[in-house]
Amino acid sequence: YIGELSQLIKPETFYRYHDRWTNVLQTACALVAFSIYLAESRLATPADVEEYLGFKVNTENADITVFVITLEEYLHGIISLFNELSRLAVNSVIVNDVKRPQHISAFASELYSGFQLLNLKNDSLRRRFDSIKYDIKRIEEVQYDLRVRNLI
């Protein structure tokens, strides 16, 4: 559907209707990020998102001349990855994969450090960023429980 939508939207009206599809693109970016993490244990780059979804990620905040995925949509997708990683850490322990939470914790901590370097304004991206600490805490609690039980 995104492809059909991109054909209908003219560049000059992109931001007028942008709020109609932004949540779908954020979710799509999150799915790409999670898929790449599961397959390769790394962060999905804007180039990866472009490859999977077929639309350029506007990383340079350039003028809109074609349908694009905005940098904010990409970052929202990456923030959603934290929530999925915390769930994955819990579910990994359930299936006796006690090593995975350690890898998830290291990855999430490094990614969180990168997000802290960004100067986010007081908008939805900032509010979502503030929720990351709860996902990090959940991952750390899983690790703590594993250590207390001498499983790692």
The per-residue pLDDT for 3 is 78
Mean pLDDT, range 15-29, rounded to an integer: 88
Q: Looking at per-residue confidence, does 88 or 9 come out higher?
A: 88
CB environment 3-38: b (16+ within 10 A), e (fewer): eeeeeebeeeebeeeeeebbeebbebbbbbbbebbe
How confident is the prediction for the chain on average, in pLDDT? Answer: 91
**Averaged over 131-151, what is the pLDDT?**
92
- pLDDT of 76 above 90: yes
- If you average pLDDT over residues 56-85, what whole number do you get? 90
Indicate the pTM of the whole model: 0.89
**Residue 1 scores a pLDDT above 80:** no
Write out pLDDT tens, residues 96-130.
Answer: 999 999 999 999 999 999 999 988 887 888 889 88
- Assign 4 a pLDDT band (cuts: 50, 70, 90): confident
